[in-house]
Structure 1
Amino acid sequence: MSMIKKGILLILVCVLLVIIVRSSTSKQTDSEVTLQHTNETATVQAESDDPLIVAKIPNAQFSTIQEALDNAKPGDTILVREGVYNEKIEWNTSGTKNAPITLKNFTDENPIIEPRGTTYKDFVALNGEWQIIDGFEIRNGWDGIVVNGSHNIVRNNYIHNNGDSCVVKEFCGQGILVVSAHDILIENNRIEQNGLTNYSPWHVHGIYLSDYYKKVCPIL
């Protein structure tokens, strides 16, 4: 083989090695999410395939939980970083049996949802189906979590001091309220100090089941 042919072959081998190395590097970084916080940059490993990230920092993918929920589709997981989120939640998008939508705290972090409501609907509302809410502190709302849709899961939440703005004979102050829904799993939640301001018998419910729309609502 001539020197020219050997040189060409060596060049082709080098080019191929560069392509392989670059491809491998790209695959290793596909699941990383970079968060900007003033002068500080933190790179965190994504917890699932392409999760939606909510964070109270500049240039976050989503800065509110509601915005992330409005952009979610069946099978999505929404991970919420540490912070206090002063917003009521209207979760209307449904998942499916095989692809539920999950709203979850980021690992080892404690996001707080604080609707601070004095009127009806200032709470976290699960209005769709096949929805999972997992790992939040929820406080200072009209109610804590209101489940209006079926096939939903509420787990690992700390729900407290909701309904403090209630007055006697107003129906509020429930930790978790299930309204005419079925196939609901509620597990491992801590619920306390809800609806205690005026000590009305209308308040002070940890978990309340309502048949307002004339459906059965069993808890599994």
Structure 2
Amino acid sequence: MRKKQSGKKVSRVEGRTSRSISTKLQCRDGEHRGSVLIVPTRKFPNIQSAVDGAKPGDKILIKEGTYFENVKIENKKNITIQSFERELVTIRGSGIGAGIDIVESSEITLQDFSLRDFVYGVFIRGNKNFLINILSSFNSLYGIFLMGDDNVLEDCSIFDNRIFGIQMSGTSNVIKNNIVTDNSDAGIQAEGSAFKNIIENNTIGRSSSGILWIPVNSRDNIFKKNFIIQCDSGVVIQNSRNKIVQNSVQRQRNSGIDILGDNNQVAHNFVTSSNVGIVVNGDSNTVQDNCVIGNSVKDVVDVGKNNVIRDNTNCKC
């Protein structure tokens, strides 16, 4: 059914409706401690109306249904948007804009719902935000577009996006425990500036590149315990002073790990069943104590200068 409200673009909602509910808590001194806002209700017929009315500490709970809207969260802080009791919630677009656009906002938590059919599923331009158990798929560019610092993406499923699963820049972001598959160009790509990010324990597959880390202005990132399978290239690092450790990289059509930058540490990775296991094009890198076996052309290729390449059939890694 269609819901209309004068002066505002309102989504079409397929699902249950309920009475207006807003549970408010107040401190003794009158300071706002947070409310629970339910969508859809008379007061909040769609997600955007609840976001517009939310204050720091509020939680927006979305009832089961499909919501046709683009949600913008601008200049907000400490708000949670979550499905009600983990009910099935989908925010669906028409190929325009971002499903959720977080602009100059912090401490925003998105949890337990799906987005699809936008340009970007979620576009983050802010710091200290959290995406937990978000599914983002079938978007025309990126599943998640992240520009900011100290953000966390965890337990998300990001697949079948036309360009990248995750496109990111920033400092001290954590991307862990996600499934990122079937995105055309790359599972996770970084551009711009990228420092001290942690990419850990993700399953990445069936893309042109699994991890494509190409910022010139980038260092001190950690790529750890990721499982990368069936890409053209598993991990491509084009910058310096990163750690690529304890990853399992299997069945890449070209290279398992390709190091184009300098002074990187590549250790305790399992790299197998690719055309070439590890290719080192940069200088002064350390490639040591990896298990690199069963690659069809060569296990390790070193075409740089002053690289340390040793003990790479250590298959207890």
TM-score of Structure 1 vs Structure 2, range by shorter chain = 0.5 to 0.7
In the TM superposition, what are the counterparts of 1:99-138 in structure 2 within 5 Å? 100-105=128-133, 111-117=134-140, 121-138=141-158
Give CA deviations for 1:166-203 in whole Å, capped at 9, x if unaligned: xxxxxx2x111122411111122111112xxxxxxxx2
Shift of 1:58: 5.5
Task: Give 2:38's match in structure 1, choosing from 34, 42, 47.
Answer: 34
Q: Which runs of 5+ in 2 are unaligned?
A: 1-22, 26-33, 42-56, 72-90, 223-317
Q: Secondary structure at the match of 2:58?
A: coil
TM-score (norm 1): 0.55
Structure number with higher relative contact order (C-alpha < 8 Å, ≥ 6 residues apart) = 1
Q: Which runs of 5+ in 1 are unaligned?
A: 1-24, 38-48, 106-110, 164-171, 195-202
Shift of 1:158: 0.7
Shift of 1:145: 0.6
Q: Secondary structure at the match of 2:102?
A: helix
Partner amino acid for 1:103? L
Partner in structure 2 of residue 177 of structure 1: 189
Partner amino acid for 2:106? P
The reply on whether 1:190 has 2:222 as its aligned counterpart is no
How many residue pairs were aligned? 153
Change (3 A) 1:125 1:84: closer
Shift of 1:86: 2.2
Partner in structure 2 of residue 93 of structure 1: 125
TM-score (norm 2): 0.40
Give the Cα–Cα distance (whole angstroms) in 1 for the partners of residues 214 and 125 of structure 2.
22
Give the Cα–Cα distance (whole angstroms) in 1 for the partners of residues 68 and 214 of structure 2.
41
Report if the CA contact (8 A) 1:54-1:78 is conserved.
no
Report if the CA contact (8 A) 1:36-1:59 is conserved.
no
Query: RMSD between aligned alpha carbons?
Result: 3.6
Task: Give 2:177's match in structure 1, choosing from 135, 141, 156.
Answer: 156
Partner amino acid for 2:205? E
Report if the CA contact (8 A) 2:139-2:160 is conserved.
yes
Give CA deviations for 1:26-77 in whole Å, capped at 9, x if unaligned: 65xx66453559xxxxxxxxxxx42455675459995469454436721222
Q: Secondary structure at the match of 1:70?
A: strand
Q: Which one has a larger percent helix, Structure 1 or Structure 2?
A: 1
When Rg is computed on C-alpha atoms for both structures, the one with the higher figure is: 1
Task: Give 2:58's match in structure 1, choosing from 32, 50, 53.
Answer: 50
Partner in structure 1 of residue 221 of structure 2: 219
Report if the CA contact (8 A) 1:136-1:158 is conserved.
yes
Q: Secondary structure at the match of 2:164?
A: coil
